[in-house]
Amino acid sequence: MKKYSFLSLVLFLFLLVASSSLEAQTRKKTTTKKAPAKKTATAAKAAAAKKPAAPVFNPKTDPPFLGGNNRWVDSVFKTLSPEERIAQLIMIPVYSNKNQAHVDSISRLINTYKVGGLIFFQGGPVRQAHMTNRYQKESKVPLMVSIDGEWGLAMRLDSTVRFPYQMALGGIENEKLIYDMGAEIARQCRRLGINVNFAPVIDVNNNANNPVIGFRSFGEDKYNVTRKAMAYVKGMQDNQVLANAKHFPGHGDTNVDSHYGLPVIHFSRQRLDSVELYPFRELMKNGLGSLMVAHMNIPVLDNTKDLASTLSKPIVWGLLKQELGYKGLVFTDAMNMQAVAKFYAPGVADVKALLAGNDMLLNTMDVKTTIEEVKKAIVNKEITQAEIDARCKKVLAAKQWMGLDNWKPIETQNLIADLNTPYANYLNNQLTEASLTLLRNKNKILPLQGLDTLKIAALAVGTTQETDFQRGLARYTKVDNFFLPANSTIADLQKLKEQLQGYNLVIAGVHKLQLKAGSSNFGITAEMNLFLKDLIRSKKTIVGVFGNVYSLAKFEDIERADAVVAGYQENDITQDLAAQLVFGGIGAKGKLPVTLSSAFKVGDGLKTETGFRLAYTYPEAVGLRSQDLVGIDSLMAQAIRAKATPGGQVLVAKNGKVIYNKSFGYHTYENKTPVLNTDLYDLASVTKITTSLAAFMRLHGQGRFDVDKTLGEYLPLMKESNKENLRYRDILTHQARLKSWIPFWKEAVKSNGELKSHIFRPDSSDKYPYRVAQNLFIRKDYAEEKIYEEIKDSPLNEKLGYVYSDLSFILAPLVVQKITGQDFETYLKDSLYRPLGASTLTFNPYKQYPLSRIVPTEYDSLFRKQLLHGTVHDEGAAMLGGISGHAGLFGSANDVAKVMQLYLNDGIYAGKRLIANHVVSSFSKCQFCPDNYRALGFDRPSKPGTPNGNAAPSAPAESFGHTGFTGIYTWVDPVNQLVYVFTSNRVYPTRENSKLSQLNTRTNIMQVVYDAMEKAKKKDTPGK
C-alpha cells in the first residue's frame, strides 16, 4: 500500500513540473499520454484535483489563433533545432522593386537560417507574388508574410486600391464601412499571400505637430479611435488576416519621428492609463491578434537612458504581458529604425528586444548575429530555451490559424484585376464620401442653388494644372478655371484678383499640400494665405482643402468663408466627391476627428442633403454589379469594330445616380481625337424633346400652351392655310397629316450642283449673317420668305394616321417666341438649361467651344460639300441658321441626362420646379393607343417586349424617349427610375451607314442594364 502511494506521489510531482515549464502567458497544450500500469481511481482523482486547469479559449476576448488544434504546431515544432526555433521569431524585410541580387539574398537567408517571416515593402503585386511563391517553396516552415498596409496594399504596392488615410476614417460615423474595409483589405491580402497587416494605428493623436503619426491616426478622441480600430481589426480577423495594433503604449503625442531619433515621453502614468493605453486595453478585451511596440523612451515606465520601449522589460514583459495580460503576438517596431539602431548594433538590439518580452523581431538586419546573440543569452541564463520554445509555438499557432498549414502557391493570373475589383473601388468611394467634412455653410449655401444666378470661378490654389476638383465642378455647370501657384508674386495676386472681379462665386480648391506636420506650414505660403484671406473677405467663397486636415489651422480667417470642406487627402476620388458635395450630388456626413483651432473643433461637421442633383458613382450604389454591365463595353467595341460609328458616349443613371458614364473610340475613323465625356455631339432629332417639347411642357404648366388648341391659334402665319386648324395633340403625336419632311436645300442648288449665289455667300455680312457651314452663310430673310412659306403651302397627307414629321417642330421656335416674347434659344437657356446646369446644350457650338470638343458628323457631298464640324448636320436646321426645334442642338450625354432626369422627376430638379407637376407624366403617356403608340412629342415602345424594336425588349410600356438621325438615343424609364443616353456620329463619313441600327447597339446596351437588374433581383430573392 505504501509503495503504491509513493508511485502516485512521484507521478503527481512529474506532472506538476511539466505543466509549469512553459512561459506563464502561453496557453497550455494538452496531449494524451498512456497511464501508468498501477494507479487507483482515488489517486488519479487526487492528482487531477491538484493539476492546474488548462485555460479555456474565449473566442470573443482571446487572440483568434489560440483556439486551434495543436497537432500541426507540435509536429512542426518537433522538427526544429534550437537555432531554427529562434529563427521562427525573426521577420526580415523584402522589396519586390529591387534587383535579382536582393531576391537571391533573401533566398539565402531563408535557406540558411530558416527565418519565420517576411515583411514586404515597396514593389508590385505580381512581382511580390512570384517572390512569395519562391520563398514559401524554399522554406522549411511556411513563412508568415506581412505588410504595412494601413490604407491598404497601396501603402506599399503599385497597381492596388488606396483606401483613405486613418484620419479620414476617423471622420466617418458609419463604422460598418470601416469593418467592410478591413474585410476587403483582408481579402486582398489573402489573394496576395499576406498573413499579417500591420494596421491599424491606434495611437491617439493629440499632438498636431506629431511628425510620424498625424494623418495615420483616427484622431484625438480615444473613444472614437477605439471604435474605428475595433471595426478595422474585426473586419480583418473575421477574414483570417491577423491585425496589428500599433504603436504600444501610444505614439500619438510625440514631436520626434522614431525613424530618425528616439522620442522621449514625459507624461505621467495616470495620463498613459487614461488616454494612450485605453484603445489597447479595449482591443485586447476583444480578440486583438497582435500588436507592435513603439520605439520610445518613457521614463515613467522605464527610466533607463536612451532605452526604447521596445527593449524595455518593464514595458513589454511587465506592463503589456503581466499587468495587461496580453496573450497575442507581440511584434517589435522595425529594428533598423534610428530610435534603436543608433544606440545598439544589429543583433544586440534584437536580443534585447527578445529579453524584453517581444515575440517577433521585425526587420532584423543581421540574422546570423541575432541567432548567435540569442544563443549566448540562453547560455548566460538571460532567457531560457523553454521561453524561446513557447514563443515559437505561439508563432506556429498563428501560422496555423492563417492557413499556412495548408499553404498553396499564389495564382498570378488575373491578380491585378482581383486586387482592383469594382466592389473595392465602390467601397473606397463610400469611405471617402462618408469622411468629407463640411465645417462652414453660411446661409446654407451648400448645396448650391440657383445656378442661373451664379457666375462661378473655379480656383486651384497651389498648382497650375487643371484639377480633378475643377473637372468635377464642371460636370454640374459652367465654371471658368483659374490658378494660383504656390510661387505667385504680389503682382500675380493682383492680376488674379482683377480677373475674378466679374464672378459672384469663387470655389477654391487648395492642392499640393505637404502631408506631414512641420515648420513649413504644410507648404502654405504667405502669398496663398494673403490671397485667400482677401478673397474670403471680398467675395462669396467656398474652400475645399485637400490634404492633411491639420493644415486648415494654418489658413488665416478660413472660418469666415461661406463654406469650408475638409477633404483629408488629395486624390481624384476625394476631389470628385467634394465637387459632388458642393452641388448636392452627395450630402456632407463627416465629423472632424481632431481639434484644429478655436473655430474648428473635434466633432464639428455639418450635414447636407444628398440626391439634390445627379450623383456620379458605381452600379453597386443602386444594388447592381459593375461586372454585369461590362456587356456595354463589348457592344460598343463591336460597333466601333464594325465601323457602325467611330465612337460615342454612354450614360446610365438609376435612382438619380449616374452609374455608368463612359466614352469610347474616336471622333473619326482616323483615330486622332479620342472621345471624352465632355465632348459635344449633334443631337439631331433628340432636339425635339430637349427644346420644342421642353418649352411646350413648361408653357403648358403655366397655362400658356394648350395641346388641344390649334397651330393657327398660336402662329398667325399659318392662318388661312390647310394647317390652321391642326390640333397640337395630333401634331405632337405625328397624326396631323403633315408631310414627313421637305428637302429645302434642293431649292437653293442649281441644276449643276452649285449653290445659288443670291442665297449664299462665303463670308458673313448684315445681309448674310447665318452660318450654314464653314465659309458658307445664308441670306437673312431666306427662312421667312422660303422655308416657312414652303411649309405653309405644303399639302397634307391624304390618309389619316401616324406619319413622323419634322415640319411642326421647325415652326416651334416661332410659336415659343410668339407666346413668350423671347427668342427660342434665349428662352431655353434662361428657363431650363442654366437652372439645370446643362451648359453644353447649345445651338451652333462653334461659337463657344473649340472644334476639338465638337464631334464632326457627315461629309456632305451634295449640298455643303464639306465635312460638317461644329455646325448642324440637318440641312433644314442649317438653313435656319443652326437654330430649330427639330434639329440643331448639340451637347454632351451628361447634360442631356440632366434634362431627362428632369423629366423622370416629373419636372423638378435640384429642388426647383421647372415644369409644373404632372405635366411631363401626362405628355409622356400614350394618347391614342392602340392605333398610335406615340406620346405627346415623345417616342414610346412600339411593341413592348419585342426584340429589334425601338426600345430595349425589357423596357416597360411606360418608358419614353427619342432617337436622333446622327446616331443619338435617349430613354427614360419611370418604372425602374432609369435614364439612358447614347451619343454617336454614326453618319460619319456618310449617312448611308446603317450598321448601328442593324446591330441594335443602342437598345441592346439598355437591355444590358435590364439584365443586370434582373440578376440583382434574383440574387436578392430567397430560393433563387
Q: Is 195 within 8 Å of 611 (Cβ atoms)?
A: no
Q: What are the grid coordinates assigned to 997, written together?
A: 441600327
| Residue 943, CA distances (Å) to 346, 865, 952, 957, 980 in order | 80, 40, 10, 8, 19
Strands 361-362 and 90-94: parallel
Q: Is 1009 within 8 Å of 978 (Cβ atoms)?
A: yes
Cα 640–chain centre separation: 29
Phi and psi dihedrals of 90, rounded to 5? -110, 135
The most confident of the ranges 61-70, 510-519, 588-597 is: 588-597
Is it true that the peptide bond before 716 is cis, omega within 30 degrees of 0? no
How confident is the model over 19-30, as pLDDT tens digits? 334 343 343 333
SS3 per residue for 458-482:
EEEECCCCCCHHHHHHHCCCCEEEE
Determine the pLDDT at residue 252: 86
Exposure on the CB side of residue 255, measured as CA atoms within 13 A = 6
Determine the pLDDT at residue 673: 98
Determine the pLDDT at residue 515: 86
Residue 715 has pLDDT above 90, yes or no: yes
Phi and psi dihedrals of 287, rounded to 5? 80, 25
Least confident stretch, 228-242, 249-263, 377-391, 817-831: 249-263
Buried/exposed 849-864: b ≥16 CB within 10 Å, e otherwise: beeebbbbbbbbeebb
Q: Higher-confidence residue: 901 or 57?
A: 901
Q: What are the grid coordinates assigned to 146, written together?
A: 506581412
Q: What are the grid coordinates assigned to 547, written together?
A: 490634404
DSSP H stretches of helix in 880-981: 893-904, 919-923
**Which residues sit opposite 649 in a β-bridge?**
663, 983
The residues, ordered by sequence, that sit 6+ positions from 192 with a Cβ below 8 Å of its Cβ are 125, 128, 129, 132, 153, 410, 415, 419
How confident is the model over 869-882, as pLDDT tens digits? 999 999 999 999 99
Determine the pLDDT at residue 287: 97
How confident is the model over 456-473, as pLDDT tens digits? 999 999 999 999 999 999
Q: Is 628 within 8 Å of 924 (Cβ atoms)?
A: no
Instruction: Tell me the pLDDT band of 7, cut-offs 50, 70 and 90.
Output: very low
How confident is the model over 343-358, as pLDDT tens digits? 999 999 999 999 999 9
Rounded to whole angstroms, the Cα distance separating 399 from 405 reads: 7
Q: What are the grid coordinates assigned to 280, written together?
A: 489597447
Question: What is the mean pLDDT of the segment spanning 50-69?
Answer: 81
Domains of the chain, CATH where assigned: 2-50 (no CATH), 64-416 (3.20.20.300), 436-613 (3.40.50.1700), 617-674+939-1024 (3.30.450), 678-890 (3.40.710.10)
Strands 859-860 and 866-867: antiparallel
**Adjacency order of strands within the sheet including 541-545:** 437-441, 563-566, 541-545, 505-510, 456-461, 479-484
Least confident stretch, 2-6, 253-257, 688-692: 2-6
Determine the pLDDT at residue 341: 86
Rounded to whole angstroms, the Cα distance separating 155 from 200 reads: 13
The residues, ordered by sequence, that sit 6+ positions from 860 with a Cβ below 8 Å of its Cβ are 773, 866, 867, 868, 875
**Which residues sit opposite 725 in a β-bridge?**
none
Directed axis angle between helix 367-379 and helix 100-113, to 10°?
20
Residue 44 has pLDDT above 70, yes or no: no
Question: What is the mean pLDDT of the segment spanning 479-486?
Answer: 97
Is it true that the peptide bond before 200 is cis, omega within 30 degrees of 0? yes
Q: Is 636 within 8 Å of 1002 (Cβ atoms)?
A: no
How confident is the model over 662-682, as pLDDT tens digits? 999 999 999 999 999 999 999
| Residue 6, CA distances (Å) to 39, 43, 834 in order | 11, 11, 101
Determine the pLDDT at residue 10: 37
Q: Is 952 within 8 Å of 1004 (Cβ atoms)?
A: yes
Question: What is the mean pLDDT of the segment spanning 98-112?
Answer: 98
Rounded to whole angstroms, the Cα distance separating 116 from 135 reads: 11
Determine the pLDDT at residue 270: 96
Q: What are the grid coordinates assigned to 445, written together?
A: 449655401
Q: Is 882 within 8 Å of 897 (Cβ atoms)?
A: no
How confident is the model over 774-785, as pLDDT tens digits? 999 999 999 999
**Which residues sit opposite 119 in a β-bridge?**
93, 146
Q: Is 984 within 8 Å of 681 (Cβ atoms)?
A: yes
Could you give the percent of the chain with pLDDT greater than 90? Answer: 89
| Residue 393, CA distances (Å) to 242, 263, 386, 408 in order | 16, 33, 10, 22
SS3 per residue for 170-225:
CCCCCHHHHHHHHHHHHHHHHHCCCCEECCCECCCCCCCCCCCCHHHCCCCCHHHH
Q: Higher-confidence residue: 341 or 854?
A: 854
Residue 36 has pLDDT above 50, yes or no: no
Determine the pLDDT at residue 57: 87
Q: Higher-confidence residue: 73 or 68?
A: 73
> In a 3-state reduction of DSSP, which class is residue 211?
coil
Residue 9 has pLDDT above 50, yes or no: no
Phi and psi dihedrals of 505, rounded to 5? -150, 130
Residue 286 has pLDDT above 60, yes or no: yes
Instruction: Tell me the pLDDT band of 5, cut-offs 50, 70 and 90.
Output: very low
The residues, ordered by sequence, that sit 6+ positions from 476 with a Cβ below 8 Å of its Cβ are 448, 451, 579, 582, 583, 585, 613, 837
Question: What is the mean pLDDT of the segment spanning 989-1004?
Answer: 97
Rounded to whole angstroms, the Cα distance separating 663 from 679 reads: 9
Instruction: Tell me the pLDDT band of 13, cut-offs 50, 70 and 90.
Output: very low
Q: Is 649 within 8 Å of 675 (Cβ atoms)?
A: yes
Q: Where are the beta strands (DSSP E) in 456-614?
A: 456-461, 479-484, 505-510, 541-545, 563-566
Rounded to whole angstroms, the Cα distance separating 80 from 60 reads: 32
Q: Among residues 969, 943, 947, which one has the least CA distance to residue 956?
A: 943
* Sign of the torsion angle spanned by Cα atoms 62, 63, 65, 71: negative
Strands 859-860 and 329-332: unpaired
Question: What is the mean pLDDT of the segment spanning 685-712?
Answer: 98
The mean pLDDT value of the chain amounts to 93
Residue 182 has pLDDT above 50, yes or no: yes
Phi and psi dihedrals of 294, rounded to 5? -80, 160
Reported residue count of the chain is: 1024
Directed axis angle between helix 125-138 and helix 100-113, to 10°?
30
Residue 4 has pLDDT above 80, yes or no: no
Residue 837 has pLDDT above 80, yes or no: yes
Question: What is the mean pLDDT of the segment spanning 127-142?
Answer: 98
Determine the pLDDT at residue 407: 97
How confident is the model over 801-824, as pLDDT tens digits? 999 999 999 999 999 999 999 999
Determine the pLDDT at residue 569: 94
Question: What is the mean pLDDT of the segment spanning 116-123?
Answer: 98
Determine the pLDDT at residue 517: 78
Residue 337 has pLDDT above 50, yes or no: yes
Q: Among residues 545, 449, 471, which one has the least CA distance to residue 894?
A: 471
Q: Is 651 within 8 Å of 661 (Cβ atoms)?
A: yes
Residue 2 has pLDDT above 50, yes or no: no
Q: What are the grid coordinates assigned to 644, written together?
A: 457602325
Q: Please tell me what DSSP assigns to residue 978.
A: E
Determine the pLDDT at residue 1022: 60
Could you give the percent of the chain with pLDDT greater than 70? Answer: 94
Instruction: Tell me the pLDDT band of 519, cut-offs 50, 70 and 90.
Output: low
Q: Higher-confidence residue: 1022 or 776?
A: 776
